[in-house]
Amino acid sequence: MAQINPSILSADFARLAEEAKAVRGADWLHVDVMDNHFVPNLTLGIPVVESLSRATDTPLDCHLMIESPDRWAPQYVEAGAGSVTFHAEAAAAPVRLAREIRAKGARASMALKPATPIEPYEDLLPELDMLLVMTVEPGFGGQAFLDIMLPKIRRTRELINKHGLELWLQVDGGVSESTIERCAEAGADVFVAGSAVYGAEDPVQAVRTLREQADRTIASAPWACNH
């Protein structure tokens, strides 16, 4: 039921191909793309995504924390991403962009910063394959989980269930063994984990442990039982 997406933002950038293979068994490899404009950090771009797509069999989940995603997001699909996430705060035409991403063969996802409410985007949900609720301010890895995001995760799950959508609900930021169960109980089913995986002695076991925790919680969560 749960999906674990290790974030290479917490990996060794000098050994990305090896680091991608070090998390075998993960559902997706989460790739944070930052442009130093939308967020105050600069990471990697299309050439690195192209290289990663050739270096691993794990599908790439690209999270674009960039300005002008309407222009750039489709190119990440062409570079090999299986899922592309754009930010609601940055997209000029989110419905058109989501449809273009899907038309190119990838899953379309939209992300919300902590201060951005979900309610104004309710009508857009059928156009998406995944909704990402940020549980830290985007820009840097290793931040502490924001518990104040749990009600927002619950409201988002309620809207998904209200419309009967097969929409994944992802959380990103501070996800670890100590926080993943709270996220799962609130309604998340896709979990981005950076330092909790890449900072572990055994990344493969870390992925397995996080998935077991989330699966166990989802199995008894009211939102899943009523789904």
What is the H or E stretch that residue 198 is in? helix 195-198
Residue identified by tokens 């991608």 is 20
The answer to whether 129 is a known catalytic residue is no
Lay out the sheet containing 29-34: strands in order across: 3-6, 190-193, 168-172, 130-134, 107-112, 83-87, 60-65, 29-34
Q: Report the C-alpha gap between 86 and 72 in whole angstroms.
A: 10
Helix axes 69-78, 94-103, angle to 10 degrees: 10
Catalytic residue among 27, 61, 172, 189: 172
The answer to whether 12 is a known catalytic residue is no
- The three-point CA angle 165-86-200 to 5° equals 90
Catalytic residue among 32, 35, 129, 189: 32
Q: For residue 85, what are the β-bridge partners?
A: 63, 109
| Residues with catalytic function | 32, 172
